[in-house]
Amino acid sequence: MKGFIKKLPKAELHLHIEGSFEPELMFTIADRNKIKIKYQSVDELKAAYNFNNLQEFLDVYYAGASVLLKEEDFFDLTMSYFRKINGQNVIHTEIMFDPQTHTERGIDFSVVISGITAAQDQAQKDFGISSKLIMSFLRHLDAQAADDTLQQSLEFKNLITAVGLDSSELGNPPSKFKEVFAAAKKVGYLAVAHAGEEGPADYVWEAINLLKVNRIDHGNNALADAKLVETLVKNKMALTVCPLSNVKLRNVDRIENHPIKLMLEKGLVATVNSDDPAYFGGYLNENYQAVAEALNLSKEDLYQLSLNSFHAAFLEAEEKAELVGKLDKFYAENRD
């Protein structure tokens, strides 16, 4: 199955670019920016990647991102992610970034977005990988800060496809951001939100009803509410599920108990994603591989997961059809 997964054309829809910051690159950029990080070596840093919950991870993730200062830093970070996925047959990706993680440290919004989008352009040219950008608001900060970020983004509106909502979920329900999301939708952004990762099914309802999201990031805890599952199925609302992340952050006790197969059986539009691959032990193929092995997924299941990723992507119908064409051709030649 490993060879099948490797060659399977696929899309990634839930990826935090700051979470693709590999330790080696972190040290390189810290050195060139003359910033001292609190770990002495790559090994010591990696040893800190042992999390009991989302917050413990976020503390390490924000510390890592703090060495990013210049446009070339954001370019190198993003290019490093594209190089990884180019070797994995990821043909389309939708990248989240957290502007506030950087603007709060005095880095200009334009520095962040210029570096990331320059890498997107290069990846399209060099690797033929198409991509979109999702601007995520940090939910542990207040709604006014999210609105300030929305205003800053307007100058770059043509570079951004959607807004998102990430960071500490518990105690920061989607309802807190109802007005900002309405304003974002009004100017033409699509919307996603992390919901039901650590938070309850109610947060998923809020993301749908109050934020009017087009997809749910994670959504695992929706399974506790039969009416919600029915609504998600009926509306073909995609879930961007992140298997290795769920185990690393202890939202699922072991990969053998991951609910993604159950989600498919219930008719949910589940997709596989890596979330923060540098921290959680793998990029997209490692996530596919982990669930394929642990849950005994068939080639048909894997095809369905990849097909879901194209259907749920923020692409025009013709663009989707072209990518699904690549997937279908591969599947026809490799299904037996």
Question: Which spans of this chain sit near ligand HPA (rule: CB under 6 A)?
Answer: 16, 19, 54, 61, 166-167, 194, 197, 245, 275-276
What are 218-223's contacts with CB under 8 Å, separation 24+? 218/14, 218/194, 218/242, 218/246, 219/195, 220/196, 220/246, 220/251, 220/252, 220/259, 221/196, 221/197, 222/196, 223/259, 223/262, 223/263, 223/266
Backbone angles phi, psi at 165, to 5 degrees: -140, 120
Which helix (H) or strand (E) segment is 194 a member of? strand 190-195
197 is catalytic: yes
Residue 19 near which of ligand HPA, Zn ion, none (CB within 5-8 Å, type-dependent): ligand HPA
Residue 12 near which of Zn ion, ligand HPA, none (CB within 5-8 Å, type-dependent): none
Q: Is 37 helix (H, G, I), strand (E, B) or coil?
A: coil
- Rounded to whole angstroms, how far apart are CA atoms 294 and 204? 27
* Shortest spacing between CB 275 and ligand HPA, in angstroms: 5
Place of tokens 């290019």: 79
* Catalytic residue of the set 22, 71, 169, 197: 197
When the beta carbons of 131 and 167 are compared against ligand HPA, the nearer one is 167
When the beta carbons of 19 and 23 are compared against Zn ion, the nearer one is 19
Q: For the residues of 59-104, what is the DSSP string, one character each?
A: HHHHHHHTT--SHHHHHHHHHHHHHHHHTTTEEEEEEEE-HHHHHT
When the beta carbons of 8 and 67 are compared against ligand HPA, the nearer one is 67
Residue 111 near which of ligand HPA, Zn ion, none (CB within 5-8 Å, type-dependent): none
* Shortest spacing between CB 302 and Zn ion, in angstroms: 22
> Taking CB positions, which residue lies at the least distance from ligand HPA?
166
When the beta carbons of 61 and 303 are compared against ligand HPA, the nearer one is 61
* Shortest spacing between CB 323 and ligand HPA, in angstroms: 25
Residue 167 near which of Zn ion, ligand HPA, none (CB within 5-8 Å, type-dependent): ligand HPA
Place of tokens 């996530």: 287
* Shortest spacing between CB 128 and ligand HPA, in angstroms: 27
When the beta carbons of 130 and 240 are compared against Zn ion, the nearer one is 240
Residue 132 near which of ligand HPA, Zn ion, none (CB within 5-8 Å, type-dependent): none
Please give the C-alpha separations between residue 149 and each of 53, 93, 118, 131, 163, in angstroms, as whole numbers: 27, 23, 21, 22, 10
* Shortest spacing between CB 170 and ligand HPA, in angstroms: 11
Active site residues: 197
